[in-house]
Amino acid sequence: MDKLAVVSQKGGPGKTTTTVNLAAGLALAGFKVLVADIEPQAQAGAALGVRLGEADLEKSLGLKLQFAAQGVRTSLRDCIIPRSDLLSQRKSKGTLDLLASEQATMANAQHLLHSAGVSKIHVLRDLLAELEDEYDFAVFDTPPAVQSLNGVALAASDFALTLCAPKGATIEGAVAMMSTIQHVSTHTNGASDPKYLGALLNMAHSMSDWTNEEVDVRNQMVDSGLLPFVTEIREDGRISGSYQKGVPAVIGFARASCGKQYAQLLQEVLGRMDTPRSEWNIGLSADELLDAADSASAAKVPNQQATEASRV
């Protein structure tokens, strides 16, 4: 089982929608996929149509993490929630399961794990060990900021990616998270060493709608060494609407531009998982994209003039 963490120091860049759409895309491709909602706000569960209440606390991943943090032997099997019904309209042979969160139990787990420090950083990895041969992928949604739940998620991960939005404040957070990912091995004495896959620009705009801030963000993603993906996810009301409906956009809008963008991102993520960094295609900066657009426009004018001359 390959384990992928979607992380960000800042709230709001779209971790949850990225998590569930990558996971659903993997399931649509025929893989057995497990989503772990390691987030007190339980947003990944909501994005997959699941909201745990007081009557469902025994199914909370937070409760399992509490047990593990206290040294109580426990299993994840009895809290796995099947969500493969979401795939039925696409006739996928894959499966999609969820480890759901609930605010109070996950907040308590956060407190216990913070108190325990690095001694319990492997609790999630250890809990997932019994499921290792039952899934092809696990995808983790994580809370904002660098805290114990993020550390637990990264210590359980094989790969990690971060996100930026067209807001300058997200760059600093992405750089900090990249550094955190790259130092997991040190903090776990070499037991965990997730591979940093790059940064996604989420809620992006077409070039004609770029603000100065978005231009700066695009340039800084390259200049800061964040290794941006070539694929970007454009701002689209269908994505947030899909969240409200509990059906990821890659499923509900598979033929629309938003669904296709997530599918393209997934292919790029898988490609980076399997190849060395030296072979990755890295997204261009805003300046490079603008220069390319200017060159294409300049080349187009002589071609148009030649075509018009031939018609005379």
Q: Taking the domain 2-281, which CATH number applies? A: 3.40.50.300
pLDDT number for residue 53: 85
Calculate the alpha carbon distances from 195 to 5, 117, 154, 281 in Å. 10, 23, 10, 16
Q: How far apart are CA 23 and CA 29, in angstroms?
A: 10
pLDDT in tens, 46-75: 999 999 988 888 899 999 999 999 989 999
pLDDT number for residue 11: 77
- This prediction's pTM: 0.91
Q: Where are the domains of the chain?
A: 2-281, 286-312
Which of the four pLDDT bands, split at 50, 70 and 90, describes residue 307?
low
pLDDT above 50 for 221: yes
- The b-or-e profile of 70-83 (16+ CB within 10 A means b, else e) is eeeebebeebbbeb
pLDDT above 70 for 301: no
Render 63-74 in DSSP notation, one character per residue: HHHHHHHTT---
**Strand-strand pairing, 95-99 and 80-82:** antiparallel
pLDDT number for residue 300: 67
Q: How far apart are CA 274 and CA 276, in angstroms?
A: 7
